[in-house]
Amino acid sequence: NAGVTQTPKFQVLKTGQSMTLQCAQDMNHEYMSWYRQDPGMGLRLIHYSVGAGITDQGEVPNGYNVSRSTTEDFPLRLLSAAPSQTSVYFCASSLYPGYEQFFGPGTRLTVL
Amino acid sequence: EDQVTQSPEALRLQEGESSSLNCSYTVSGLRGLFWYRQDPGKGPEFLFTLYSAGEEKEKERLKATLTKKESFLHITAPKPEDSATYLCAGGANAGGTSYGKLTFGQGTILTVHP
């Protein structure tokens, strides 16, 4: 099993550009989530999904969109990047909500 | 509001010097308390799940314990390779208002000197 995979590992964007961060898991997990990690702020939940076709907002959803068309994939979209979105982004999955989550390697995003 | 607080923020130990990390939690409808290890530039790596007060889990030099309000990560005779950030998180039941979300603490940065 590859576990949770994320692409790209690094990305630099200019303000106003759009992009999609990819996340996939091969463990047949129902629950998937996106976090951002900033110094002094810890891990903050952006969006989560409890199954294909079902998504909801987390703690810091503004500026981000998600969709979940399959069990395996949970992409995160930045429609118009802003410098405040400079961060490290982690995707995670768990078998069910509230269970231990397994994290991907992260994407380091810089918005200029 | 669910809250998880870790202390200390940073801990420096000499190799072989045992110590404990603290995680205080207030999570409505707690299903499990999780511990993770995070190395620089990597994603958090799952270590333990604790489900009920009095439970203990061990892995090599690490032992996690749980009370109704706190969890401790005890490190016995640490080695330099144990240096990392240790995160704890409270996981809410799927049926509650938090719907299975994890609330993370800020982490404790552990440095073990040879």
- Residue pLDDT, tens place only, A62-86: 999 999 999 999 999 999 999 999 9
Longest CA span, chain A: 37
Judged by a CB distance cut-off of 8 A, whether residue A27 touches chain B is no
Which one of A43, A50, A100 has the shortest CB-CB distance to B46? Answer: A100
The alpha carbon of residue B79 is apart from the nearest alpha carbon of chain A, in Å, by 24
Closest B-chain CA to A102: B46
Which of A41, A6, A36, A25 shows the shortest CA–CA distance to A95?
Answer: A25
B86 or A97, higher pLDDT: B86
Chain A residues within an 8 Å CB radius of B91: 98-100
Partner-chain contact A96 B94, CB within 8 Å: yes
| DSSP reduced 3-state for B49 | strand
In 3D space, the residue among B71, B68, B70, B35 whose CA is nearest the CA of residue B53 turns out to be B68
How many contiguous H segments (helices) and E segments (strands) does chain B have?
A: 0, 11
More confident residue, B21 or B94: B21
Average pLDDT of span A90-97: 94
**pLDDT of B47-72, one tens digit each?**
999 999 999 999 999 999 999 999 99
Q: What is the pLDDT of residue B97?
A: 59
- Judged against a pLDDT cut of 90, whether residue A36 lies above it is answered with yes
- pLDDT of B98 > 70? The answer is no
- In chain B, the residue whose alpha carbon lies closest to the alpha carbon of A32 is B101
Q: Is the pLDDT at A44 greater than 90, yes or no? A: yes
